[in-house]
Each structure stands twice: as structure tokens, then as C-alpha cells.
Amino acid sequence: MYKSLLEKINSKNAKIGVIGQGYVGLPLSCQLAKQGFSVAGFEVDESKVKMINSGKSYIGDVSSKDLKELVDTKKLSADTNFKNLSHMDVLIICVPTPLRKSKDPDVSCVLEAAKNVRKTLKKGQLIILESTTYPGTTEELVLPVLEETGLVVGKDFFLAFSPERIDPANKKFGIKNTPKVVGGMCAKCAGLALAVYSSFTEVYKVSSTQAAEMVKLLENTFRAVNIALVNEVALMCDKLNLNVWEIIDAASTKPFGFMPFYPGPGIGGHCIPLDPHYLSWKLKTVNFYSRFIDLAGDLNAKMPGYVVSKLQDALNARSKALKNAKILILGVAYKKDVSDGRESPAIDVINILIEKMANVFYYDAHVPVVKNCVYSKILSSLSNLNNLNKFDAVVVVTDHSDVDYKKVLKDAKVIVDTRNVFKNVKSSKIVRI
């Protein structure tokens, strides 16, 4: 079975099913289809399936032109019928893994996907989990579900883990030029997964699925901890009346031993705010407490409050109270030039402002509606920036490229700049973090 499946993969005759067609699954489906595989995207959201099958992309990193071409040539299709998983040779699981309110991992989507695979699992299939999760998930959660069929891993079917490394809106590194890491339940499992991914990028094989799962958590914990460090440096510089951005730029001239990270209003997105908690949770199950990770999380979580305090100080200096002030939040997506608002620090800033009884508005052409604010308040984006002088202050939270910052500088009364978009501008109306 191993040799037969390997030959199918290497000859591009393997049928590949990708479970989950979000910001990870759809780009992966398209890339595999471009390599010549016949790809089926499985998705519970019927609206997404209809859009894919009509060649319309809802993911920024996938153009509708490319998607339509793949659909028209019958290299890619989408399906809500999970019974058709049985027709696939390779199944790749790319479903969300959020955190519960208690900061514990929520792997319910992974478990549901595994159960769907179990219902149709057949001999000779390769299953790969890409969803970010804690070390041990593939072996301790997914494998037992699949083995309920009586089939044996490494003999009857194959199981591996390969962490997704998607960075939305990254113009330099995409799915094709970002190496993949793979770990298998056995050497054959890893070899088959390596064959799939090496069809379009470099692959680095590690010793186990646990090792591959840990790789992803290290990558994002590294970022979270270093962002926390530079956020604390920003607080230090504020106390010392220094410009943290100037300090970072100067330190970055050192050609070795330093890597620049930048402060901000907090951290957002699906990975960086969540992944360290996955690792911390797993470590607690073996009586190890990750003080570094917990401290970094605490520091990053306090940044939205710091931003509001800087805003409040700026208004007080102008004899204006924050209560009843009209505040415009500029950008609510979690990062520049994306439409994803998950875990965005902008939401925390908005929540704090609402709690302090400010009148909050926002502008973000990428995110038309913001939900889950305090008291279940729902906000809609302003359609333009024509009346900035009507606001008491503007807070730049996300530095989208499509914003006319010259207009913002000209018309706004007070600007709290959390992203250094006004780097070389000297103005009494600008407050930097």
C-alpha cells in the first residue's frame, strides 16, 4: 500500500481532499491543484463551497482569477458531503483550533474532522493534520479515533502532522517558498507526507508528530515573547522620555546578535496570541509551569490598556475628558492589509473605551463590521475619512496601506500612533507609544 500510494503522489495521480477551506485550507488546495493534483475542498459552510465552485475567492492570498482557472479545468472543486472523503487518497485537515474562555485548547473541530475521516477511512489513505495544536494531539486524539475502524497506522493507513505556516498578506513569503515541516507516526507516514509537500516546496522532516507540533508552537511563542519584550521596552522608554522606535532602528544596525521586533497595541490573529497558551496548557499537564510564556502573555494583554491611557493623557492635556469623547479607531484588523479581525487588539481597545463611556467609531475598509464588543455592541465601519475634525482623537491601531495618512495628519485633532506610521513627522498632535 505504501509503494502504491507513494507512486500515486509522485505521479500526481493521487486525489487530495483538504478539510477546511479557510485562510489555510483554500491556499493549500489551490497550490496542490496548481501542481497537477485533483483536489477537493471539504467545507461545512455552504456559502464558501458555492463561492469556490463559482471561482470567487474570499481569501486575500488567493485571486479569483487563479481560483476560477483551477475550477474551470476541474483541478479543484468544493464539497459539503463528507461521505466523499472515501474517494480521496490523501486527506489534509486544516480546521480552526481556538481557545476556550478558560484559555484551554478547543480541539473540537479537529475531533469532528477526525470522526468524519473515520466514517469513510479505507486502506491506503494518508491523513495529515495541519491545524495548530499542542504536542501529542495527532497521536493522542486523532490516531485513537481512526484506529476505532480496526485499521492499523503504518500498515493500513498513514498519519502525519505538518504545521501550517501561512502568513496572510505577506508579499515575500507564501505557501510555495516557505519550507514545510513534517513528522509522521512512522517512517512511511512521514515519507508520504514529505512526498506531498515536496511537490511544491522544501520539506524538513522531524522525528515524530509531537516534534512537528512543537515546532509550530516554538515559532509563534518566539514571536509572542519577543513582542512582549519590546512592548515592555516601549513602556520603559515612555518612562525615560525616549523614542522606542528610534532605539529599535539604531539597534537594528548591528549585523549580528539582534533581530528587530516592534511594539504595538497588543497581538492579534489566530496564531500568535493563542499558540503560546496551547504550549502552556500542555506543560501544566506534566507539572511544568512556563513562566516566560505566561509573563509574555500578561505583558501583551496589557498593551490595549496602555494605549487607552496614552489617549486619556493626551485628551486631559487638552482639557478634554475621555468620557463622552468621540474617538475614531483607525484599523481593526489584527494586522496590516488583511480582513481578519480575530483576536485583534483593536477589539480590546474598543472594549476599554466603551467601558469608559467614550463614543467609539472606527474606519477599516477591510472589516465592514466588528462584533463581540462589550455589551454585545456591534459597530460598522465609517464609509470614509471625510470628517476627521469631528472626532476628539484618532487612534491608529492597524496601519493599512490604503489609508491616506496625510489627510489624517492634516484633519485630526489628536493622533495616538501605535504603529509608527508618522515616523518622521514632528507634530504636537501626535502621541506615540
- For residue 170, give the DSSP letter: -
d(CA 292, CA 60): 34
Q: Is residue 23 part of a domain?
A: yes
CA 73 – CA 365 distance, rounded (Å): 33
Percentage of the chain with pLDDT > 70? 99
Domain CATH for 413: 3.40.50.720
Same domain, residue pair 32 and 162: yes
| Last residue in a domain, options 209, 243, 264 | 209
Same structural domain for residues 33 and 169?
yes
Q: Is 225 part of any domain?
A: no
pLDDT score at 256: 97
pTM summary value: 0.92
- Could you tell me which residue, 189 or 342, shows the higher pLDDT? 189
What is the number of other CB atoms lying within 10 angstroms of the CB of residue 58? 17
Show the domain range for 88.
2-209
- Together in a domain, 130 and 278: no
Kindly tell me if the per-residue pLDDT of 159 is higher than 70.
Answer: yes
pLDDT higher for 280 or 50? 50
Instruction: With cut-offs at 50, 70 and 90, classify the pLDDT of residue 94.
Output: very high
CA dihedral 47, 53, 57, 59 (to 10 degrees): 70
How far apart (Å, rounded) are the C-alpha atoms in residues 373 and 395? 17
Same domain, 390 and 286: yes
The predicted structure's pLDDT at residue 111: 96
Q: Are residues 177 and 294 in the same domain?
A: no
For the annotated catalytic residues, the residue numbers are 271
In a domain, 170, yes or no: yes
Q: Could you tell me if 25 and 127 lie in one domain? A: yes
Residue 421 and residue 402 in contact, taking contact as beta carbons nearer than 8 Å:
no
- Stated length of the chain: 433
- Same domain membership, residue 263 and residue 160: no
Q: What would the mean pLDDT of 58-70 be, rounded to a whole number?
A: 94
| Residue 341: all three cell numbers together | 479581525
Alpha helices in 240-274 (DSSP H): 244-251
Task: Tell whether 103 and 238 lie within a shared domain.
Answer: no
Mean pLDDT on 223-245: 96
- The answer as to whether 172 is a domain residue is yes
Q: Are residues 50 and 133 in the same domain?
A: yes
pLDDT higher than threshold 80 for residue 373: no
Whether residues 146 and 280 share a domain: the answer is no
Number of domains in the chain: 2
Give the sheet arrangement for strand 126-129, strand by strand: 76-79, 38-42, 15-19, 90-93, 126-129, 158-161, 180-184, 203-205
Which residue has cell 486631559? 316
DSSP track, 307-331: HHHHHHHHHHTTT--STT-EEEEE-
- Within 10 Å of residue 318's Cβ, how many Cβ atoms? 12
Q: For residues 249 and 103, which has the higher predicted lDDT (pLDDT)?
A: 249
Instruction: Encode 149-167 in three state secondary structure.
Output: CCCCECCCEEEEECCCCCC
Kindly state whether residue 216 falls inside one of the protein's structural domains.
Answer: no
Examine the pLDDT at 341 and tell me if it is beyond 80: yes
Confidence grade of residue 279 (pLDDT, cut at 50, 70, 90): confident
Q: Is the domain of 292 the same as that of 418? A: yes
State the cell numbers at 183: 513528522
Q: What is the pLDDT of residues 104-146, one digit of tens each?
A: 788 999 999 999 999 999 999 999 999 999 999 999 999 999 9
Domain shared by 197 and 318, yes or no: no
Q: Is the pLDDT of residue 276 over 90?
A: no
Per-residue pLDDT at 371: 81
Name which of 142, 177, 134, 175 is nearest 160 in CA terms: 142
Residue 73: per-residue pLDDT: 96
